[in-house]
């Protein structure tokens, strides 16, 4: 016997998230109407969050949908992502970069230091199950005020910052200078004040540095490489019993959902960036055999990293050999918690 | 040596000497007197008596003992001498990894001096190695000599260097178990903030956090703030790595950082918490309250519940905290930290605590090698009410088993019982008593984890549960069959307030309802011998050579005498729970259920062969009949581990659920003759059927059906073409086909009235089958090798017999409280005995199974599991002789699929029918 992973179990695609709603008689019209009303009200009541600091970056208007999948999973889906100047000029719709179904991890939001995000969360599943009537987005790292914390009133003492079946919730983030890095976003409100981050409601926010450079290990030395040299970004969530990941073409921004223990591909000699984020209850040691990379914030070259839930570890390597990434923890090893890093010759 | 080199060397020596003297001139020496104290709730704490420093800089310390202990601020190069006087009843030391190598301890009443040099800048935990999880920890903060501390990041991204003198506040936050223990330092004054405090600050104040940990690991997260990971990034000429979560690896750890409160994000209640999901679910969170400068709010911190606050026997105006140590010790699985005080009140259990409304209960996994959950079994009906109680914290539970602890504030008066989902006989009882009413409040009614709501506390089920609690958690309430004295159950003689405000004496009620001083039946041997040996996990028996409980008792079934006791002191064998053997019956496999190991033992001489790590909290072990590979259910995790036959290392874990799904936590699995692994998944309330060839999931069938939720499937029996799964909390058995189809649900409590007060009609023939039967809390449920009979051990003290032709209960036999394990062995000349164990007694019951007419099955013998003087053993029994009967296994293995693989020497003792049980 050996661990067998069902690749389909992590995604909403096969389950027809749209048809799920359509199966509920009268629901689509009702939902749409409530959404319109909700959006209208959120405009009327004004932005809950005041943008902080002088914005010099872009504005990202994002509509994110939270869905329920078979198997007890929940997941986020990108409904719309429009990038513009902060005054709304030069709108560019980049929604096609994302899978059109809910994924675990959820869509990776890639922005630049200085950008602002206006994120509207839509609760789109049947709320009959106890505790599933609220869902939120709590983001790490960047700036936001107390109304965009994505927590319950139980915690923030102001209000339940949740999307509910009849009302969207709008979060405003500012990736101010000093917040560059990769950060998790996740639910904080479903079921109780801890949220359902362990049921699939998580994703990554990548805030690229204004300086436009990344650190890379060249013959044991830390060297700066231009951000533009990165060909692929790999978002790799390290859960208690599996990895779950997305591969991003860094040039086009196109995101490919890869599911549990994903196999990443790279062209030999190109720079690729790993964004490893842990989530769950277990502690891990991440290892990419045969590679050394710069431990962020230091000059040290390392080949493995001890990590705990919601820590992030971001590093860039020049693709050389094909190898395997893994978590070396005892049970993770037995469960086959690993995946391939396939490097193809140019 | 050449003259030139000599000159250089001389110069170097001179320079070094100069540096040394100059550093001596700068360094201060600290002379400190501390004590170790016992707090009112039984926890321990360090206390500052005196601190003098040659540079005059000391802090204004709290007057009393505090958790964390006093925070020592020194500078790099300072020398520190701490005289520690131990006023507790246990040995206490003061370890400072990284600064001090002195691991000695002061005995009770003695003093000991620890001296070291604070050689390197950093934040260091100091702690006692042994009692650190009970409160003996504190921080030593070694700052640079120039007074600089960790830099902070401003709202527009600039990195600002910070001097300690710039700080408005410092917080020491220890992450221990599932609780934060805090201290505030402001203008040199240290104020204890105790558990999960609200940390106050004024916006834009520079605030330094010292996060430390002892014990199991954590990650620290503070909402809406970020800080540089490394302090020396400037010296390394690199950009700082900005983080908002930091790993505290297991053992001990520290991380200091500085933030400008609310910078870039504004005022608000910002949560801080551990980011391990199980720790979040067990209460490990608090608030960082940032107020605007001119808001009128003070920005003061608010202390949390404290070991010195209001608890039973300790009046105080501050919220109090009682502490249960989670332990591998029989009965005392949740042991009050002031166990002796509690015992003197209850005369029995050490697992009961009493607090006023608004105080908290704290759990710490300080005496266990296993993983656990801390889960509400029952609670006052109002406790999870959104208005009167707290539906965010009650019922209390965690999705995954873990290492750590738990903390929960209880506001609603009444009775709360907590258990562990993995080890469901671990119990902690808490009475939240309104001091303004007469009697201890058990409450009007209770809700149960199974979805039963509003059960009157006067009901038979409620008092039966209370009685079960007193029996399970009190070693002196267990049945000793070697004593001629009748069985006397000790209950707390206290007035309690129940349904309708009635006040009664608890002991009187329990004795009136369930009797007292019961004469135990006499022991006797079966007249027909059995074949081979019976291996019994006397899981609670204590021996002198080890700290952990449990032995294997080997019974010679041919003459009903004890052959051997195996304690394995060399590996401190911990709670041996379940047994199987290889196909030639030469090696016995033993799980350690409160640990991480599978043990291999030489059957013939009882010697240890191998002790193998298999995963957290392995419960049951069984071989695949086809390959003889070993399969071990990893009860605390999410799979079944395989050890290939003939090897000593697991090579794979078969997941019992899909990736990222809730862990199934399989307990007592069984294997079909064609190699399907069938697991009762306690955490996901289903039976899983898996293909042992590729590990794929064939089916997962929901179990239970009598009560609304949490059936707790715990054990599996496999017949010719049917699976029998017991549901511990649903008091039922699901009958399931090999492809996972539910065929039938057998309710074991159909004849029982749980709601009414105990009376003559509590148990009567309600289902009209002409029989009065009850199976309270069913556990092991094997099917005999021929597939004719299912024998089920019910914790409530009965054995029920199911006729598989009818799939209904056809007979009930008496058993002991904690009736637990069943397995079949061959009877000489044909047929089978079912051997039955009980946790809370020291007898083995032998059931003669009637394969012609299962209703005629009867008790054939009662055998003591207490070893006499001549029985060979690798250790000396010290207490609880013969107690804790759980897993049981007859050798030779006569189950269909296995019996055919026996060596000829074993087959010689079997009849033709026994060798081919399924005709």
- Residue A116, SS3? strand
Q: What is the pLDDT of residues A143-184, one digit of tens each?
A: 999 999 999 999 999 999 999 998 999 999 999 999 999 999
Q: What is the pLDDT of residues A299-314, one digit of tens each?
A: 999 999 999 999 999 9
**Across the interface, do A158 and B642 touch by the CB < 8 Å criterion?**
no
**Across the interface, do A306 and B281 touch by the CB < 8 Å criterion?**
no
Q: What is the pLDDT of residue A10?
A: 55
- The pair of three-digit structure tokens given for residue A314, joined into one six-digit string: 């971001």
**Across the interface, do B268 and A71 touch by the CB < 8 Å criterion?**
no
pLDDT class for B20, splitting at 50, 70, 90?
A: very low
Per the rule left: phi > 0, alpha: psi between -120 and 50, beta: everything else, A168 is beta
CATH architecture of B321-514: Sandwich (2.60)
Q: Assess whether the region B321-514 and the region B533-915 belong to the same CATH fold.
A: no
> How many residues does the structure list for chain A?
346
Q: What is the pLDDT of residue A3?
A: 37
Q: Which CATH superfamily is domain B23-143 in?
A: Cupredoxins -  blue copper proteins (2.60.40.420)
Q: Kindly provide the b/e burial profile for residues B356-394, where b requires at least 16 CB atoms within 10 angstroms of the residue's own CB.
A: bbebbbbbbbbbbbbbbbbbbbbbbbbbbeeeebbeebb
Q: What is the pLDDT of residue B77?
A: 97
Distance of CA B366 to the CA centre of its chain: 9
Distance of CA A124 to the CA centre of its chain: 19
What proportion of chain B, given as a percentage, has pLDDT over 70? 97
The answer to whether residue A129 scores a pLDDT higher than 90 is no
Identify the closest residue of chain B to A71 by CA–CA distance: B661
Q: Which residues of A touch B279 (CB under 8 A)?
A: 281
Identify the closest residue of chain A to B243 by CA–CA distance: A141
Helix (H) or strand (E) holding B19: helix B3-26
Q: What is the pLDDT of residue B337?
A: 98
Average pLDDT in chain A:
87
Mean per-residue pLDDT, B114-128:
97
Q: How far is B653 from chain A (nearest CA, A)?
A: 5
Q: What is the pLDDT of residue A11?
A: 52
Q: How far is B385 from chain A (nearest CA, A)?
A: 14
The answer to whether residue B801 scores a pLDDT higher than 60 is yes
Q: How far is B194 from chain A (nearest CA, A)?
A: 19
The answer to whether residue A66 scores a pLDDT higher than 50 is yes
DSSP B317: S
Nearest to A334 among B244, B650, B694 (CB): B650
Nearest to B613 among A178, A311, A330 (CB): A330
| CATH classification code of B147-304 | 2.60.40.420
**Across the interface, do B238 and A179 touch by the CB < 8 Å criterion?**
no
Q: How far is B508 from chain A (nearest CA, A)?
A: 41
**Across the interface, do A71 and B661 touch by the CB < 8 Å criterion?**
yes
Strand partners, B268: B290
Q: How far is A216 from chain B (nearest CA, A)?
A: 12
**Across the interface, do B248 and A308 touch by the CB < 8 Å criterion?**
yes
The answer to whether residue A45 scores a pLDDT higher than 60 is no
Residues 6+ apart with CB under 8 A from B434: B356, B357, B413, B441
d(Cα B680, Cα B622) in Å, to the nearest integer?
A: 14
Edge-first strand order for the sheet with B503-505 is B440-441, B495-497, B503-505
Nearest to B185 by CA among B42, B316, B66, B342: B66
Q: Where are the domains of chain B?
A: 23-143, 147-304, 321-514, 533-915
Please report where in the chains the tokens 């050490």 appear, as a residue.
B350
**Across the interface, do A281 and B695 touch by the CB < 8 Å criterion?**
no
Instruction: Give the burial class of B675: count Cβ atoms within 10 A of its Cβ; 0-12 exposed, 13-18 middle, 19 or more buried.
Output: middle
Q: Where are the domains of chain A?
A: 7-208, 213-344
Q: What is the pLDDT of residue B237?
A: 81
Q: What is the pLDDT of residues B373-383, one digit of tens each?
A: 999 999 999 99
Q: Which residues of B touch A209 (CB under 8 A)?
A: 239
Identify the closest residue of chain A to B157 by CA–CA distance: A178
Q: How far is B284 from chain A (nearest CA, A)?
A: 11
Residues 6+ apart with CB under 8 A from B452: B707, B708, B754
Identify the closest residue of chain B to A296 by CA–CA distance: B241
Helix (H) or strand (E) holding B914: helix B912-915
**Across the interface, do A179 and B242 touch by the CB < 8 Å criterion?**
yes
Q: What is the pLDDT of residue A39?
A: 41
Q: Assess whether the region A7-208 and the region A213-344 belong to the same CATH fold.
A: yes
The answer to whether residue A9 scores a pLDDT higher than 70 is no
**Across the interface, do B155 and A143 touch by the CB < 8 Å criterion?**
yes
Nearest to A143 among B238, B265, B392 (CB): B265
**Across the interface, do A308 and B224 touch by the CB < 8 Å criterion?**
no
Which parts of B381-484 fold into alpha helices (H)? 460-472
Q: What is the pLDDT of residues B320-342, one digit of tens each?
A: 999 999 999 999 999 999 999 99
How would DSSP label each residue in A71-83? GG-EEEEEEEEEE
**Across the interface, do B239 and A174 touch by the CB < 8 Å criterion?**
no
Distance of CA B704 to the CA centre of its chain: 25
Q: What is the pLDDT of residue A8?
A: 47
Q: What is the pLDDT of residues A208-266, one digit of tens each?
A: 999 899 999 988 899 999 999 999 999 999 999 999 999 999 999 999 999 999 999 99
Which parts of chain A fold into alpha helices (H)? 17-22, 27-44, 153-156, 330-334
pLDDT class for B529, splitting at 50, 70, 90?
A: very high
Check: complex ipTM more than 0.90? yes
DSSP B663: P
pLDDT class for B233, splitting at 50, 70, 90?
A: low
CB B151 within 8 A of CB B229: no
- The pair of three-digit structure tokens given for residue B293, joined into one six-digit string: 């400068």
Q: What is the pLDDT of residues B582-629, one digit of tens each?
A: 999 999 999 999 999 999 999 999 999 999 999 999 999 999 999 999
Pick the CATH number of A7-208 from 2.60.40.420, 3.30.70.20, 3.40.50.980, 3.30.1330.10: 2.60.40.420
For residue A139, the tally of other CB atoms under 10 A from its CB is: 25
Nearest to B694 among A2, A149, A211 (CB): A2
Average pLDDT in chain B:
95
Q: Which CATH class is domain B533-915?
A: mainly beta
The answer to whether residue B203 scores a pLDDT higher than 80 is yes
d(Cα B170, Cα B208) in Å, to the nearest integer?
A: 5
- The pair of three-digit structure tokens given for residue B380, joined into one six-digit string: 């006052």
- Residue A150, SS3? coil
The answer to whether residue A25 scores a pLDDT higher than 80 is no
Q: How far is A19 from chain B (nearest CA, A)?
A: 24
- Residue B70, SS3? coil
Q: What is the pLDDT of residue A219?
A: 87
Q: What is the pLDDT of residue B58?
A: 83
Of the two residues B770 and A49, the one the predictor is more confident about is B770
**Across the interface, do A52 and B242 touch by the CB < 8 Å criterion?**
no
- Residue B191, SS3? strand
Helices B460-472, B506-514: crossing angle, 10 deg rounding: 100
| CATH classification code of A213-344 | 2.60.40.420
**Across the interface, do A72 and B224 touch by the CB < 8 Å criterion?**
no
pLDDT class for B231, splitting at 50, 70, 90?
A: low
d(Cα B41, Cα B726) in Å, to the nearest integer?
A: 39
Which of B225, B658, B691 is the best substitution to test chain A (most A C-beta atoms within 10 A)? B658
Q: What is the pLDDT of residues A175-224, one digit of tens each?
A: 999 999 999 999 999 999 999 999 999 999 999 999 899 999 988 899 99
Q: How far is A164 from chain B (nearest CA, A)?
A: 18
Nearest to B226 among A141, A240, A299 (CB): A141
d(Cα B394, Cα B778) in Å, to the nearest integer?
A: 26
CB A138 within 8 A of CB A195: yes
What proportion of chain B, given as a percentage, has pLDDT over 90? 95
Q: Which residues of B touch A8 (CB under 8 A)?
A: none
**Across the interface, do A242 and B154 touch by the CB < 8 Å criterion?**
no
Q: What is the radius of gyration, based on Cα positions, of chain A? A: 20
Q: What is the pLDDT of residues A318-341, one digit of tens each?
A: 999 999 999 999 999 999 999 999
d(Cα B466, Cα B773) in Å, to the nearest integer?
A: 22
The answer to whether residue B10 scores a pLDDT higher than 70 is no
**Across the interface, do A334 and B278 touch by the CB < 8 Å criterion?**
no
**Across the interface, do A10 and B659 touch by the CB < 8 Å criterion?**
yes
Mean per-residue pLDDT, B347-354:
98
């Amino acid at each position: 016997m050996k661990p067998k992973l069902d690749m389909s179990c992590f995604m909403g695609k096969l389950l027809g998230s749209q048809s799920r709603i359509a199966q509920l008689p009268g629901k689509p019209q009702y939902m749409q109407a409530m959404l319109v009303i909700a959006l209208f009200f959120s405009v009327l009541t004004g932005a809950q969050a005041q943008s902080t600091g002088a914005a010099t970056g872009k504005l990202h208007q994002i509509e994110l949908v939270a869905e329920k999948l078979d198997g007890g999973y929940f997941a986020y889906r990108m409904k719309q992502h429009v990038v513009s100047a902060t005054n709304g000029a030069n709108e560019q719709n980049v929604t096609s970069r994302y899978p059109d179904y809910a994924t675990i991890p959820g869509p990776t939001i890639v922005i630049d230091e200085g950008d602002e995000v206006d994120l509207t969360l839509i609760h789109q599943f049947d709320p009959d199950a106890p505790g599933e009537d609220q869902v939120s987005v709590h983001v790490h790292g960047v700036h936001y005020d107390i109304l965009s914390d994505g927590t319950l009133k139980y915690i923030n003492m102001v209000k339940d910052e949740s999307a509910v079946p009849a009302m969207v919730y709008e979060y405003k983030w500012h990736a101010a200078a000093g917040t560059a890095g990769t950060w998790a976003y996740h639910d904080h409100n479903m079921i109780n004040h801890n949220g359902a981050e362990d049921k699939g409601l998580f994703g990554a926010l990548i805030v690229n540095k204004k300086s436009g450079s990344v650190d890379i290990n060249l013959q044991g030395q830390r060297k700066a490489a231009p951000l533009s040299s990165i060909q692929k970004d790999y978002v790799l969530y390290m859960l208690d019993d599996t990895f779950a990941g997305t591969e991003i073409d860094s040039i086009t921004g196109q995101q490919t959902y890869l599911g549990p223990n994903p196999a990443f591909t790279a062209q030999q000699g190109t720079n690729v960036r790993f964004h490893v984020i842990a989530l769950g209850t277990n502690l891990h040691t991440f290892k990419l055999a045969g590679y050394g990379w710069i431990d962020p914030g230091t000059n040290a070259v390392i080949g493995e990293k001890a990590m705990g839930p919601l820590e992030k570890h971001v590093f860039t390597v020049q693709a050389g050999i094909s190898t395997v990434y893994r978590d070396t923890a005892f049970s993770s090893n037995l469960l086959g918690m690993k995946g391939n890093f396939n490097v193809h010759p140019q | 040596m050449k003259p030139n080199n000599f000159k250089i060397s001389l110069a170097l020596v001179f320079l070094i000497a100069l540096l040394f003297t100059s550093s001596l001139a700068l360094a201060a020496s600290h002379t400190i007197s501390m004590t170790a104290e016992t707090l009112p709730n039984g926890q321990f704490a360090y206390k500052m008596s005196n601190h003098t420093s040659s540079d005059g800089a000391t802090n204004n310390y709290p007057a009393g003992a505090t958790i964390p202990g006093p925070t020592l601020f020194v500078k790099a190069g300072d020398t520190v001498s701490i005289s520690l006087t131990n006023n507790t009843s246990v040995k206490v030391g003061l370890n400072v990894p990284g600064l001090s190598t002195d691991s000695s301890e002061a005995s009770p009443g003695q003093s000991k001096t620890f001296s070291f040099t604070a050689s390197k800048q950093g934040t260091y935990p100091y702690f006692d190695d042994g009692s650190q999880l009970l409160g003996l920890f504190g921080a030593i903060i070694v700052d640079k000599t120039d007074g600089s501390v960790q830099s902070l990041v401003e709202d527009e991204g600039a990195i600002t260097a910070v001097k300690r003198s710039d700080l408005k506040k410092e917080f020491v936050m220890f992450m221990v178990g599932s609780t934060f223990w805090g201290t505030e330092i402001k203008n040199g004054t240290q104020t204890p903030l105790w558990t999960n405090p609200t940390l106050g600050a004024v916006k834009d104040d520079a605030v330094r956090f010292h996060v430390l940990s002892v014990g199991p690991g954590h990650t620290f997260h503070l909402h809406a703030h970020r800080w540089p990971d490394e302090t020396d990034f400037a010296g390394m000429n690199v950009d700082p790595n900005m983080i908002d979560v930091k790993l505290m690896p297991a053992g001990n750890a520290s991380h200091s950082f500085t933030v400008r409160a609310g910078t870039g994000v504004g005022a608000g209640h910002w949560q801080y918490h551990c980011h391990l999901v199980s720790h979040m679910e067990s209460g490990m969170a608090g608030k960082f309250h940032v107020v605007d400068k001119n808001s009128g709010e003070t920005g003061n911190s608010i202390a949390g519940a404290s070991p010195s606050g209001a608890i039973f026997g300790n009046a105080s105006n501050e919220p109090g905290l009682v502490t249960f140590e989670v332990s591998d010790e029989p009965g005392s699985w949740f042991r009050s930290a002031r166990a002796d005080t509690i015992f003197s009140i209850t005369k029995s259990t050490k697992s009961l605590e009493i607090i006023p409304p608004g105080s908290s209960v704290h759990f710490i996994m300080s005496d266990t090698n296993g993983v656990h959950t801390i889960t509400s079994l029952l609670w006052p009906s109002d406790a999870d009410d959104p208005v009167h109680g707290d539906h965010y914290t009650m019922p209390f539970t965690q999705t995954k088993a873990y290492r750590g602890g738990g903390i929960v504030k209880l506001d609603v008066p009444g009775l709360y019982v907590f258990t562990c989902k993995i080890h469901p006989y671990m119990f902690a009882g808490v009475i939240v008593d309104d001091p303004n009413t007469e009697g201890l409040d058990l409450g009007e009614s209770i809700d149960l984890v199974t979805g039963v709501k509003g059960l009157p506390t006067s009901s038979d089920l409620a008092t039966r549960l209370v009685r079960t609690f007193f029996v399970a958690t009190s070693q002196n309430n267990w049945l000793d069959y070697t004593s001629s004295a009748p069985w006397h159950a000790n209950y707390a003689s206290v007035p309690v307030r129940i349904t309708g405000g009635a006040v009664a004496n608890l002991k009187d009620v329990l004795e009136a309802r369930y009797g007292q001083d019961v004469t135990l039946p006499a022991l006797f041997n079966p007249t027909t011998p059995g074949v081979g040996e019976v291996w019994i996990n006397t899981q609670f028996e204590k021996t002198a050579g080890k700290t952990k409980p449990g032995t294997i008792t080997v019974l010679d079934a041919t003459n009903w005498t004890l052959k051997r006791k195996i304690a394995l002191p060399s590996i401190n064998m911990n709670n041996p729970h379940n047994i199987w053997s290889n196909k030639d019956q030469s090696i016995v496999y033993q799980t350690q259920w409160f640990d991480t190991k599978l043990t291999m033992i030489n059957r013939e001489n009882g010697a240890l062969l191998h002790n193998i790590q298999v995963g957290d909290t392995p419960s049951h072990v069984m071989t695949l009949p086809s390959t003889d590979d070993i399969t071990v259910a990893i009860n605390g995790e999410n799979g079944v581990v395989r050890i290939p036959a003939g090897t000593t290392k697991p090579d794979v874990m078969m997941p019992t659920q899909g990736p990222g799904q809730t862990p199934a936590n399989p307990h007592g699995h069984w294997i079909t003759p064609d190699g399907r692994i069938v697991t009762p998944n306690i955490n996901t309330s289903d039976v899983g059927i898996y293909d042992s060839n590729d590990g794929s999931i064939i089916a997962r069938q929901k179990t239970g059906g009598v009560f609304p939720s949490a059936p707790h499937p715990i054990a599996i029996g496999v017949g010719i073409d049917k699976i029998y799964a017991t549901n511990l909390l649903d008091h039922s058995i699901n009958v399931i086909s090999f492809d996972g189809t539910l065929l039938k649900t057998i309710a074991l409590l159909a004849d029982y009235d749980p709601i009414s007060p105990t009376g003559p009609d509590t148990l009567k023939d309600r289902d009209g089958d002409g029989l009065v039967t009850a199976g309270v809390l069913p556990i092991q449920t094997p099917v005999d090798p021929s597939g004719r009979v299912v024998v089920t051990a019910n914790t409530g003290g009965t054995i029920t017999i199911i006729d598989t032709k009818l799939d209904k209960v056809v007979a009930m036999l008496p058993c002991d409280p904690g009736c637990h394990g069943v397995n079949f062995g061959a009877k000489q000349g044909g047929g089978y005995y079912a051997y039955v164990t009980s946790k809370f007694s020291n007898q083995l019951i032998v059931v003669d199974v009637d394969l012609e007419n299962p209703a005629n099955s009867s008790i054939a013998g009662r055998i003591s599991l207490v070893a006499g003087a001549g029985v060979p053993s690798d250790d000396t029994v010290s207490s609880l002789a013969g107690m804790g009967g759980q897993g049981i296994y007859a050798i030779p293995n006569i189950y269909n699929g296995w019996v055919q693989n026996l060596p000829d020497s074993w087959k010689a003792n079997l009849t033709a029918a026994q060798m081919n049980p399924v005709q």
